[in-house]
Amino acid sequence: MSVAKRFGPYGGRYVPETVIGALDELTEAYDRYRDDPGFRDELGALLGNYVGRPTPLYRAGRLEEAWGLDRGLWLKREDLCHTGAHKINNALGQVLLARRMGKQRIIAETGAGQHGVATATASALVGLGCRVYMGRTDMRRQRLNVIRMRMLGAEVTPVDSGSGTLKDATSEAIRDWVTNVDTTHYIIGSAVGPAPYPEIVAAFQSVIGNEARAQMLAETGGLPGTVVACVGGGSNAIGIFRAFLDDAAVALVGVEAGGEGPSGRHGASLALGRPGVLHGSYSYLLQDPDGQVAEAHSVSAGLDYPGVGPEHSHLRDTGRVSYVNATDEAALSAFLECSRREGIIPALESAHALAHVRDGAAGLAGPGPVLVCLSGRGDKDVDQAGAALGIDASA
Amino acid sequence: MPEPGALRLERAFRAAGRPLFVPYVMGGYPDLDASRRHARILARHADIIELGVPFSDPLADGPTIQAAGQQALDGGTRPWDVLRIAGDLRDGPPVVVMTYFNTVIAHGAEQFLNEAAGNGVAGIIVPDLPVDEAAEVREVAQGVGVALVALAAPTTDDARMAEIGLSAEGFVYLVAVTGVTGGQMALDDRLRALVERARRHIKVPLVVGFGVRTPEQARQIGDIADGVVIASEIIRRIGDAPDADAADAAVEAFGNAIAGALRT
């Protein structure tokens, strides 16, 4: 078996020559260990006893009622993973690979901080040093996750270039990797970057969809009519979509950051970008006519990224997945509704998927139930969402 | 059609009979006029000019070139403005343009390379376009007589060195350190071994860069390689100058010093 380098025309390895050898090494290690019983057992045991998998499939009855969803609304509860989001599925898989490759040091980029926390956690677990690059803007708006990473023993390095968000943190992590490639493994947190990363991240995240598909069959006796997930780089989305790609009757919907709305700033690479190269792969990208990468905007740091994973670009072009977007405002109100009707505070990222279900319910294709990937929990967002919604702790 | 860029570059190495000085100018830094002046000043001392087209996310560059590129973009510099600087240098040494892949393909590789060729550019260096992704662009570049100059790194294994050697034209840019631009290189046994290993697989001239800062370092690199690129150090000196005249003088003095070191 080989490891996918491209998805249709998208993907590739557009990186400095210095790290090509490391990409080859990672490709070989992944190809060797992905079906290795020892590796699978070790990862499987951690996903069970450490992460808490399988995560529950939960029927959100009060949101169904409020939103008139007679067909049923099911949440795949990745928010209940250890560390609070799906990111840990990939971080653990990659850290186990890094140890088998003999690497002594782990680096990562993070936007919302969930991937940074997951990587800091996985590094602590196996005893590897960890440095996380994070944009200065994101450090401010996801302050709690910065503290968590530092408590876990990771060094968090602020990045001031550009807009101080995920794009800039990713560039800086790649520069670190170019410099320390002999000793260091770079754990990319989304299904982006040069091959083989998009394939590896998607494969480690596909546990989400594999579980959810079986759970839907067990709970409802059938498949969902529609599967909805938020898309920044797109790791939770590809993780849940992959299990349903061959189920032609299941509609798949990715929800990008609509930001300030049609006339303002946003993070909707697939809807409003055009193909280009950022961070090592060819994919849809927000850019100006000369190819300068544009600054994205989203209330959620995890969706505030001008690129997107190459597999999503291919799924967009083939039409297998529909990509839509939800504004900051819609996501914030869905965030509050989910909190108050279900007692679940979702991550602002995941709230974009919920907002689309609410606002687009009439247009959801297929008669079957709706399955949403609730990719993370919103504890990290309480400062920012509280400020936006006028909720604080004063007496 | 004028003489292909690869031949012009290879002739520059043969004609010099000594290691070549390849200074870097970031187009649009600190502004477009100043960068055009600095390029002209350096053209008097240089054997090849490396002209940077700024890109928003330069993965192979350290903080100095990143900041210079950002300043150029903030000042409104567009790729065509920089290519016209090359057009101004037609009577001087050959120009190779350094930029990133997304800049090359944003309007289509044909348009970028046509504009480059039209401005007399001899070659392009694209640090995020490794040899196994480069075939399509190389074909377009060859069609208009622009050499696609490859990079090789300390981590490039023998098989890839051979692959790079097979398609190399003009020269190969050998990255002296595992890292980004603007660091500190040291002429040690590792670098000597890297140059020797590269020579076994690559028949075109080898130019070494990344982290070269002083005339003494340039002279040492000149002892083992066919040329030396100096980039971040020139930008640093421009940035440190109190005004435009002082920057011009600093560029002149530094260019003169490096050229002198490579002639001895």
Report the CATH number that the domain containing residue B41 is assigned in CATH: 3.20.20.70
**Cβ-contact A280, A383 below 8 angstroms:** no
pLDDT of residue B103: 98
Mapped onto helix, strand or coil, the DSSP state of residue A115 is: helix
Q: Tell me if residue B10 is catalytic.
A: no
- Test A16 with B133 for CB contact under 8 angstroms: no
pLDDT at B64 over 90: yes
Residue corresponding to tokens 């990473």: A149
| Residue B128: inside a domain | yes
CA closest to A173 among chain B residues = B59
**CB nearest A16 (choices: B56, B59, B106):** B59
Mean pLDDT of chain B: 96
| Residue B215: inside a domain | yes
CB contacts, 8 Å: B154 with chain A: 18
Domain residues for the domain of B209 are 5-259
Which neighbouring-strand residues pair with A157?
A133
**A291 in reach of chain B (CB within 8 A):** yes
**CB nearest B153 (choices: A12, A18, A278):** A18
Residue of B10, B47, B61, B115 marked catalytic: B61
**B74 in reach of chain A (CB within 8 A):** no
pLDDT at B211 over 80: yes
CB pairs under 8 A between A and B: 111
Angle at A111 between CA A105 and CA A117, to 5 degrees: 50
Distance CA B251, CA B231 (A): 12
Q: For the beta carbon of residue B91, count every other beta carbon within 10 angstroms.
A: 7
pLDDT at B5 over 60: yes
- Test B60 with A178 for CB contact under 8 angstroms: yes
% of chain B exceeding 70 in pLDDT: 100
**Cβ-contact A310, A243 below 8 angstroms:** no
- Pairing outcome for strands A10-11 and A155-159: unpaired
Q: What is this structure's pTM? A: 0.96
pLDDT of residue A366: 58
Which neighbouring-strand residues pair with A75?
A58, A372
Find which of B81, B101, B115, B177 to mutate to test the A interface (most A CBs within 10 Å of its CB): B101
**B100 in reach of chain A (CB within 8 A):** yes
CB contacts, 8 Å: B73 with chain A: 292
| Cis-peptide into A262, omega within 30 deg | no
Distance CA A30, CA B88 (A): 51
Q: Tell me if residue B61 is catalytic.
A: yes
| Residue B264: inside a domain | no
Q: What is the number of domains present in chain B?
A: 1
Residue of B50, B115, B163, B169 marked catalytic: B50
User: Is the reported ipTM for this assembly greater than 0.85?
Assistant: yes
Give the residue numbers of A marked as catalytic. 87, 109, 375
| Residue B245: inside a domain | yes
Distance CA A159, CA A169 (A): 6
pLDDT of residue A263: 83
In chain B, which among 229-248 make CB contacts under 8 A with chain A?
none
CB contacts, 8 Å: A305 with chain B: none
Encoded tokens for A77 = 């509860």
Encoded tokens for A40 = 């699978």
Amino acid in position A308: V
Distance CA A53, CA A222 (A): 22
CA distance B126 to chain A (A): 9
Specify burial of residue B3 (Cβ count, 10 A radius: 0-12, 13-18, 19+): exposed
CA distance B253 to chain A (A): 31
Distance CA A301, CA A146 (A): 13
Q: Tens place of pLDDT for every residue, chain A, 395 residues?
A: 589 999 999 999 999 999 999 999 999 999 999 999 999 999 999 999 999 999 999 999 999 999 999 999 999 999 999 999 999 999 999 999 999 999 999 999 999 899 999 999 999 999 999 999 999 999 998 899 999 999 999 999 999 988 888 999 999 999 999 999 999 999 999 999 999 999 999 999 999 999 999 999 999 999 999 999 999 999 999 999 999 999 999 999 999 999 999 788 999 999 999 999 999 999 999 999 999 999 999 999 899 999 999 999 999 999 999 999 999 999 999 999 999 999 999 999 999 999 999 998 766 655 799 999 999 999 999 989 999 999 988 87
- Test A20 with B62 for CB contact under 8 angstroms: no
Distance CA A15, CA B149 (A): 15
**B162 in reach of chain A (CB within 8 A):** no
In chain B, which among 164-193 make CB contacts under 8 A with chain A?
175, 178-180, 183
Q: For the beta carbon of residue B161, count every other beta carbon within 10 angstroms.
A: 23
Encoded tokens for B169 = 């034209």
**CB nearest B180 (choices: A20, A179, A290):** A179
